[in-house]
Structure 1
Amino acid sequence: MNLASLIVFAGILAVAAGTPGPNVGALVARVISRGHKGVFPFMFGLWLGDAIWLSLAVWGLAALASTFHMAFLVLKYAGVAYLIYLSWKMWVAPVGETPDDNTIPRQGEAGKLFMSALAITLGNPKIMVFYLAILPTAVDITHVSLAGWAQLLLVMFVVLAAVDTAWVVLAAQARRFLRSPRMMRIANRTSAGMMAGAAVAIATR
C-alpha cells in the first residue's frame, strides 16, 4: 500500500476522531473526575473495538456483523449500563475522596473500563459503516493484502492514540484548576452529566 493512500486515510480518520462525540465525552469525563492515571485501559478498549470494525470492513465481512446483530446489541447496552453506573458514582462521589492524578486505580477497575469501552465500540456497527465509507477514498478494499491490512491497523492505532491522548491532556489540564471542594463537586457532577449524555447518545444510535 502506498504512502499517499495511508496519509489520506490518516487525515480523514484524524478529523473524524477529533470531533467531539460520545466516546470522547466519556473519556474526558473520566479524566476530569478521576484523573488521567488508569485511563489507558478505557482508551485501549475503544481502539481495539475500532480495529475489529476496521478489519470487518476491510475483509468484507459486513454480512457476518449483520448475522450477529443481537450479540452486538447486547454488548452495546452492557457498555451503556456501565457508563450510567460510572455517571452515578461520579455524581455522588464525596469530594474528599476524589483521587489525585497519581492515584493507582483500584484492583479490577482497569478490566471494567476496558470491557465497557470495548462493548461500547462493538455495540456501534455504524463505526464499520464509517470505515466502509472512507476506505474506498484511500484504498481499493477489494484488493487489500495482509500487509496492507496491517498497515491500515497501524495507522489507525497511531491516529486514535494521538487524538485521544490530546483529549486526555486537555482534560487533565482542566482538572488542575478544580482543586477546591466546591469546584471539584461541580467538576464531578459535570463529568457525571457528560458520561450520562454519552450513554444516551450511544444508546440511541
Structure 2
Amino acid sequence: MTLGLWDVALYAGALFILFITPGPVWLAVLARSLTGGAPAVLPLAMGVVVGDVLWSLLAVLGVSWIVSAYGGFMTALKLVAVVTFAGMGVLLIRHAGRSIVADSRLTRPGALAGFMAGLAAILGNPKAILFYMGVLPGFFDLGRVTPADIAVIALLSAIVPFVGNMGLALFLGRVRRLMTSPTALRRTNQAAGALLIVVAVVIAVT
C-alpha cells in the first residue's frame, strides 16, 4: 500500500467536514428519525454508502487511467482541489445563514424508498460529483495507487458518511435544535467553511 497515515487522515477529515455541512440529507435523516427512529434511517444511510463508494471508485479508476497517459495531470488536479475547497469554504461562510430546502423524495417512507433516496441524493448531488471527480484525486498520487489503496479510499468514502448519518439519527434531539435554530445553522456553516479553507491550505503545502 502506498498511502501514508497522513494521506488517509487528511482525506477522512475532508469527508467529515463535507458531511457536517448541513444539507437536504440532514433533513431526510431528521424526518425519518422522527417517524421511525434510527432503524428508519438505516436504508437511507446505506443508499448514501453505495453512492459514495461508486463515485470514489469511478474517480480513482478513471483518473488513474488519465494519469498514466498525461504525467502532469496530477498537478492540475491538486490545484483544482485547492481552489475547490477554498471556494466552497468562502461560499459557506458568506451564505452561512441560508436555510436548507427539503426534498420530499428523500423523506418517503419505506426501506426501499429510503435506500433509493440515499443513492439518488449522492449520485445526483453536484457537490458529491465535484468532490469525488474533481477533488478526491488531489489527495492521492493516483499514478501509484494499488488495489489495497483503492480499497482504503472506498472504505473511507463509505464509513465516514455512514457513521455521520447514523450518528445524526441517534442524537435526534441535538439535530432538531440545530436544524431549527438559524444561529446554530449559521455557526455550523461558518465552522465548516473555515475548516474547508484549512484543508485547501494543507493540500497546497503538502
Normalization by structure 2: what TM-score?
A: 0.57
| Count of residue correspondences | 137
Q: Where do 1:93-104 residues align within 5 Å?
A: none
Match of 1:82 among 105, 109, 114: 105
C-alpha distance after superposition, 1:131-167 (max 9, x if no partner): 2343244211233222111001112222122211221
Distance across 1 between alignment mates of 2:104 and 2:41: 19
* Aligned CA-pair RMSD: 2.7
Equivalence for 1:138: 139
Sort the Cα spacing of 1:119 and 1:149 in 2 relative to 1 into closer, same or farther, 3 A: same
Q: Distance in 1 between matches of 2:153 and 2:44?
A: 22
Separation in 2, partners of 1:17, 1:49: 14
Match of 2:20 in 1: 18
Letter of the 2:112 partner, please give it: G
Judged with a 3 Å threshold, the aligned counterparts in structure 2 of structure 1 residues 23 and 142 are, in CA distance, closer, same or farther, namely farther
Describe the shift of the 1:60–1:48 C-alpha distance in structure 2 as closer, same or farther (beyond 3 A): same
Matches within 5 A, 1:1-205: 1-60=3-62, 82-83=105-106, 86=108, 109-171=110-172
Gaps of 5+ in 2: 64-102, 181-206
Report Cα offsets for 1:82-105 as digits up to 9, x if no partner.
337x3xx8xxxxxxxxxxxxxxxx
Identity %: 33
Distance 2:12 2:126 in 1: 20
Alignment check: 8 A CA contact 1:32 1:172 kept: no
Separation (CA, whole Å) in 2 of partners of 1:50 and 1:8: 17
What SS does structure 1 have at the residue aligned with 2:156? Answer: helix
Q: 1:25 to 1:174 in 2, by over 3 A?
A: closer
The question of whether the paired residues in 2 share the 8 Å contact of 1:82 and 1:116 is answered with yes
Q: Per the alignment, do residues 137 and 32 of structure 1 end up closer, same or farther by CA in structure 2, a change over 3 Å counting?
A: same
CA change 1:174–1:158 in 2 (3 A) is closer
Higher-Rg structure is 1
AA paired with 1:82?
R
Change (3 A) 1:20 1:150: same
Cα deviation per residue 1:47-70 (whole Å; 9 max; x = unaligned)? 111111111111127xxxxxxxxx
1:74-131: CA deviations, max 9, x gaps? xxxxxx66337x3xx8xxxxxxxxxxxxxxxxxxx21221122212222225413212
Q: CA deviation at 1:173?
A: 6.5
Residue 48 of structure 1 aligns to which amino acid in structure 2? V
- Separation of aligned partners in 2, 1:167 and 1:16: 14
Deviations, residues 20-56 of structure 1 (Å, cap 9, x unaligned): 1111221122112332223211110011111111111
